[in-house]
Structure formats: C-alpha cells, structure tokens
Structure 1
C-alpha cells in the first residue's frame, strides 16, 4: 500500500544520485563520514515537513551533529530521526536552533492550547499552557502517561517555541475511548518520519486495535505493534500487516537496543556535544524512556541534554529532571496566580 510520496526504499538511490554518491545502495546507504553527512542533508531536504529549515550535518565516529535552523521543535526532532535512520549513525547531537517567531508569547500559548484542543486523543480541558521567553510549560492534568507525552509532541508542532517543560500531572482517573486510542496511534504514525512512504490502517473496537498495511521488515512490524499498545489498549492484532522488503529502512537494522546500550551511546553523544561542557548529568534507561538527572551550567545545556537524548535510537520519552546550577526547580504542575494562562479562542 504505497503512497504517492517518495518511497522509502527508492529514496536511497534517488538521493544518492542527487549528491553523487556512487557507493550508496538501498542495502548499505552512503559510505564514509563525508558522504554520510551529505546524504543526511539531502534526505532532510527531501522531507516536505522540513520546509523552512536549513540543516548542516557533520559526522564523526558514528555520531551525526546537526547545525543550522528550524522553525519548530518538531522539525529539529524530525531531522534527528532522519539522521538516525542512516546506516552507520549511532547517535545524533542536535544543535539546531529555532528561528525567532514574529508572534508574542501569549499568541504562542494560544496556538498550543488550540492545537491541543483539536486533538481527539487528549482531553485538553484540564491543560493550561504558559509561554515565557518562547519556553512553553504544560501544566494541569491528563488521564494517562500517553496523553502526557502526546501533549508535548503536539506542542512541538508550534513554530517558534524553543523549549517545552512538561509538568502535566497524570491522574489515571479517565477511561480512554476507542476514538482517542485510534487518534493517538494515527498521530504516532503520521508524526514518525520513518513511516513516510507507507500507509497504516487502524481500527479500534472495545480497546482492541487492528492494524493493516505494509511495513519494510518484521522488526518494523514488531515495533509498530509495541508502540500501538497505548493506554486503554487490551490487545493489538497485526495479522493484516504485510512485510514488503522494498519499504525497508535498512539504516535502522539493529539500532533498537537494550537500555545498557542506550546509555553507552548517550554517554558518547554527551561527550561530543560542546554545549554540555561543565555539566554533571546522569542518565538512566528503562524500556523506551530515558531519565536525566544532575546539574547543567545553564538552560541551554539542560535543553541540549534532552535534545541529544531524543536522538538515541529506541528512545521515545525523555524525563528531563536536570537542574540548572544555582537555580530552583519548580514542583510539578505548580502554577502561580500571576502567570499567564492561555485561553481557547472560540
């Protein structure tokens, strides 16, 4: 079930021809650091959701460093995901800067609130958004961990925000509807650049998810099934997911590893990031989540640690508990009365 956009298997050959990489093949991708860097740059440019960004790539010792500008946090994370899908890349140091928006903080807050309210996967009525200096804080309550992380993902789509602090409290006091579950899975597929070029059908009835369509490998199928086990799902049926090797993302082979491997790669990535000089950050991993603790010399280093952690294969959630040296951490979901809360514009 291919879509009209650039198919994943053929992107290797098309992009290789564009940058003159004679050694690049669908099976092995580009060879050498310089070719790999050029290839990633072209791959990012080929993504129609990266319009407005300018990304430069350097590769050394299997670590890709992204420099340049993007219009949103979503674009920075999308560029990192594309780099990660390239053979020989084991980690990404994401140094992309967000272009300054024309909109003021209050307008950015309204835009986030409106985007959250339009999502069928989240009950946004208990969420409030605060934006100060282009840094958004999500406060209030949601019913599940999935909604907490999804709220952050939706907020990253708003151009101009340079950081998101997710302080949503999970209450576990709601029952998710089939429509909310379906909306979350569809958002996950649509938001994942590695799903570009494939079509996945999703049906949900009484908490049972039925998936249909094509993926490139058994590993991709297993990953899709695993990620579809969101809150409220009792079972996932994937008998109608067919494996089509022409759609395989060969660069991801073997990159979804165990937590101990994740931490080793993350340590190397932190060492390669000059923004983290002087930081004392510890990381722990459990499943697809990485938790960061310790201290950073400034806000930039704290945000850099999170963006780099999100560039590690298999990491879906990053809990950033790093404190800025000399700063005072804010309690989860605490909001002072004088802070500006966004309101939904009807």
Structure 2
C-alpha cells in the first residue's frame, strides 16, 4: 500500500503565544456583535482558553465560545461564563419557552415539555435523533430570561435499526469527506461498542468541535477526542487539496441529498436536487421559510458546490391568518436576547413579513430577519430595518440618551482604522490567516479582493468585515479551487 506523506512544519510554528491568543480574543470580543465584551475575562494556558465573567443570555454565552474556538492557535475552550439577566416570574418564562417551541415549525410537533424554576428550564420528553435534541436546545437558548437548560430527561429514541460500529465509522468518514468546513485529511476514526475514538490533527478548535458533533449525529453513544490535536498549520491549502479532488455532478447531488438527511428542518421534505457543473438548483415544496433557508445553507457546505439557486416554494400546511402570524413574529422578536430591546414593527400580507424600525448593527439586522423566518406561516421576509451603527466597534449598545448637559464624545472611525480591524480579524481567523485576502475601505464600505480556498472561506471573510464595523461589504474574493473538473 502506498503511504501518503503529509508535510509537517517546524515545531516552532505549531504554537501561538498564550498572551497573543488572549489579546486577540479580547479584541475580537470587543468588536463582535452579540457579546458583552466588557463583562468577559479571557485567560489562556497552553492554548486552552478560559472564559469567565458574565453575559446576558445563553445565545451570547455560546457566541463568545464560538468566537474563541475559531481563533488561530486555540486548542480548546473552557466556558465558565455565568448568565446575568433580569429575573422573570417562572410562569412568564415558562410561557415564553412554550411559545418559542410551539411557534417553531420543527419543534412544534416534538414530544417535549418544560418546567421552569429560577431561570432554569428543565426539558423532558423524547426526540428521534441527537440533532433534534440540539434543535430543541437552540430554540430554548433564544429565549430571554433563560439562564440554564437541564436536558437530562430529554431522551433520544433513535430508529429501530441501530448502526453497527463499522457503519458509524463509515458514516462519520463520509460526512467529513463532503463537509467543506473541516479538513479531515489527518483524522482517524475508530468505533467500538458505539463509542467513537478520534485521533490525528485538525487546524482549529472549531473544526474539532464540528467533528465531535458529526460523530454524535452518526450514532455515537460516546465520543473520545483526547487524541485529536489542534495545530493551526493543519488548515493550510496544501493539506486540503486531496479533499477537493474533482467530483461528478451525480456525486455532488447525492452528497447534497445526504446532508438533508441530517437536518431536522429539511429531512421530511426531500427537496429535489439538480447539479450542472457544480451549480446546484433546489426545487420542490417545504412548509416553512426556515426549512428553505437551511436547505440552501446545507447545500453550500458540500464539497464541489459552486453556487446554489434556491427555487424551493414555501407552502404552510395550514392557513394562518396574517394577524396571527404578525403577532407571533412580534412575540418572537420581543423575547429574543439580541433584538428584544428594539421597537421593531412587523406587517404581514399573505404570509410575507415586512420588518421596519432601527437596530444597532448589521448582525442585529440579519438576526431579526432570521427570527422572523423561524415562525410558522412566514413564507418570506422583507427586511427593511435600518442600521444606526450606534454600537460601532465597541460592541456596546448605548441605552437611552446621554445625561442632560453632556454631549456625546465623537467616535471617529476613519477608513484606515476600519481596514486594520478587518485585517486583524482575518489574521486571527484559523481558516483565513493563510489566505490571500486584500482589504480596502472607502467611506465605511469594505472591498475584499484576492483568492480563498472555498466559498465558505469567502463568506466568512465577508462576515468578519461586517463584524469589524463595515457599513457595507463588497465581496470580490475569488475561489481558487474549481468545483467541477
């Protein structure tokens, strides 16, 4: 058997100084929307990051962890952030939680019940898959006032046929091989008694977490990843070439359909997938807008996909009066941790939701639309929210007008400073630091040029520019690896 040798960089390049990692994460948290950076303390020891302090929601807590996981040189994250949120009566919080689950098209039919005590939601019941369980937790995190979720009694039933060890291993490898977000070239997978052991090397802590999740969704009862090491050099392009070998349109179409099997929102609709030279077209009918959007995102994460044309039609199974949909959208926005403090107006006509008002930044603008898209009966969202830019680069939201007699201090944000913030975010991104991305800024508009490895990298580079404070991003990055040969 031929042995493939993978290049290994000098040991000196395998580590980033702990102090540099800490400084980078603190800077990223400060310029990232959706986190309370001034309440979070960061410490790093041997590449393991510890987050302590407070944040105002479970969504914010998770987001802070995700930001740290994606930083170059981070080997893992210990999240000790506590939730500090105004207290709500147990009955009110339980009502919010129950409405959130009932108005979500996917979780509405799940056999799940919730009890609430002092901000802790104890959820019990039965779901069919590990991914359905994760979806329930995601919905609950999006409710303001929830400080903790106890899911010890939320069981995963699974199907009648349980995968064998060999089938679990093969399924993990298949998913990883087609997932554009991970480089599994240096990863080994072994399964015994449904316990999966992962070993080898990945390029970021975020990739490691993604691979662990894949193992659970493939049917693992337990995952041991102690021997799966993180070294930031493992993400470089030369090690990824094998993953991006030419794929036929038939192979790509099959892989896209397979990704739908792992998405609880999309699974039951079986969208039709057509591929021509790597360009994917989705057709068919789904019952909700969230399923349509998730199907497109699932397809974009498949190796070989060059672009996606989403022609899925949204046809709710039951007629919902526009007035009822509008009220459900307003309720969802009001209970959301990120946009609940804003006076967002909503109008609904024939299932099309129009959002008006003002929010602080691009992140909140997009998030509000995403919240509306997750409500049963919404077929389309027209996002007319204005971005005030009030949060600027600090990530802090000003509450109310300045004290009488005081004038707000001007906060200059020259283009060269914005460009430098964008470059720093790219340089500390485990997936972007080595790629050819050039940044120019004029009047707050960032233009990105150069070449990146994948469409996922292109999307991430644009997102980081918005996070740094760009008013608009003109993303002209090209993708170097052809999707179809």
**Structure-2-length-normalised TM-score:** 0.34
After TM superposition, the score normalised by the length of structure 1 is 0.46
